Amino acid sequence: METVDKYFLNKVDQISFIELKEGAWVDVGDYTIEDDIPLPIVTDTLLKEARDGEVEEGFKASHLIEGIIYILGIDPEFKYNEQYKRILYSYDSKIEDYIMYTGFQHIQKGDYEQGAIYFRALTHINEKNVQGLFNYALCLENLSRNLIDQGKIQKADRFLLESTNQLEDLIGISEEFAPAYYKLGYYYRYFDQYLKTKLIWEKYLAMGDNEIYLQEVREQLESITDDINFEIGSDALNRGDYRLALENFLPLSDNRGASWNVYYLIGLAYRGLGDYENAIESISKAIDLGARDANIYNELGICLFTVGDADRAIDIFNKGIELEEGNYRIIFNRGMVYMRLGLLEEAADDIKRAYMLNPDDEAVKDQMQQLKMTNKDIRRNSGKEYEI
């Protein structure tokens, strides 16, 4: 992710590079570093040695290893990274354990940035190291919390999203790594992805992890039941599965303090089933509860006209237009009702106005063409010249 990558790349000033003299080399384990490969050293380490007068005492392989880990954690695309990885494994075949241990030491001190660099390096030298992935994700979560404390919400969300990506990669590698499912549920809930929260936590519950955590997750799932139903209902409504939408929305309307949005969506589901009477009742309830969106008035007006209540439909359209004078859809629909009622001049006014607001809408364009064809009728009925 660009934001996270940029964050770590900005740490490049923590690294200095030492160039070997021409023809010189350094052996690290069974790997020979020749003069064409720059040697990364953590800048603070280099400065400390300079203060202590140890720079001239000779090259220390441990400082090179530290520098390589840093550069891998900061810039996974660095030119010499493949050589650096071979150096690490030549230095210590169990280098992953060392990186893990050092990363934990940083975390224990509360330094999640340094911990993240180590665990990020670990995931770059072994993308299937599940402990590396998990602990890198946890470091990102804590960095996200710090950003929230600083008021940088959007940046914090990007860090948490990257943490989510890491855990999703992890369970793709190890399906039985229970802590990842536990954490992912909280991440999905944070991003209002309640159905994904439900699914991932149900998998976690089936794993039989620590009973304290299992009970915690059961309680969390119960607390978001309404949110889950709302998301399932919204998804069903978008797919045209109106019965399933109602099954999930109706229980929400029984709750004391249900929002107008619930009633509006119930109304849309009823309308999709052709039950206009219940649709009118539900959408009217949404308006009574404070809905102030011209599109909601538009939907109610359409339903009223469909059941033959044209006068009330026009009244509702009028109220919606007062809320948003530039909403071409509701203006156009009022014009169509006027047309059906034979009020041709009023119809022409609205359709022309809707066309001026959005000349690209196909229905509006077609109606404008028809108006031009029936212009004589409009003039005859109105008793005056009328321009279309």
Last residue of a domain, one of 128, 148, 168: 148
Q: What is the pLDDT of residue 376?
A: 59
Q: Is residue 351 part of a domain?
A: yes
Q: Which one is predicted more confidently, 277 or 388?
A: 277
The answer to whether 122 and 104 have CB atoms below 8 angstroms apart is no
The phi, psi pair for 6, rounded to 5°, reads -65, -40
Q: Is the pLDDT of residue 382 over 80?
A: no
Q: Is the pLDDT of residue 119 over 90?
A: yes
Of 17-21, 127-131, 214-218, 371-375, the poorest mean pLDDT is in 371-375
- What is the domain extent for residue 359? 240-382
| CA 324 to centroid of chain Cα atoms | 30
Q: Is residue 155 part of a domain?
A: no
Q: Is residue 158 part of a domain?
A: no
Q: What is the pLDDT of residue 314?
A: 97
Residue 59 — pLDDT band, cuts 50, 70, 90? low
Single-letter residue type at 172: G
Q: How far is CA 147 from CA 81, 158, 184, 190, 369, in A?
A: 30, 10, 20, 15, 56
Q: What is the pLDDT of residue 57?
A: 47
Q: Is the pLDDT of residue 60 over 80?
A: no
Residue 180 — pLDDT band, cuts 50, 70, 90? very high
Residue 209 — pLDDT band, cuts 50, 70, 90? confident
Q: Is residue 195 part of a domain?
A: no
Q: Is residue 233 part of a domain?
A: no
What's the domain count of the chain? 2
What distance, in Å, lies between the first and last C-alpha atoms of the chain?
A: 53
Q: What is the pLDDT of residue 52?
A: 58
Q: Measure the CA–CA gap between 34 and 66, rounded to whole angstroms.
A: 19
Mean pLDDT of the chain: 90
Last residue of a domain, one of 120, 148, 176: 148
Rounded to two decimals, the pTM is: 0.83
Q: Is residue 183 part of a domain?
A: no
Last residue of a domain, one of 113, 148, 183: 148
Of 12-21, 67-76, 320-329, the poorest mean pLDDT is in 12-21
Q: Per-residue pLDDT averaged across 109-117, rounded?
A: 96
Of 48-57, 91-100, 121-130, 324-333, the poorest mean pLDDT is in 48-57
* Helix locations, 191-309, DSSP H: 194-205, 211-223, 225-239, 242-253, 260-272, 276-288, 294-306
Q: Is the pLDDT of residue 135 over 70?
A: yes
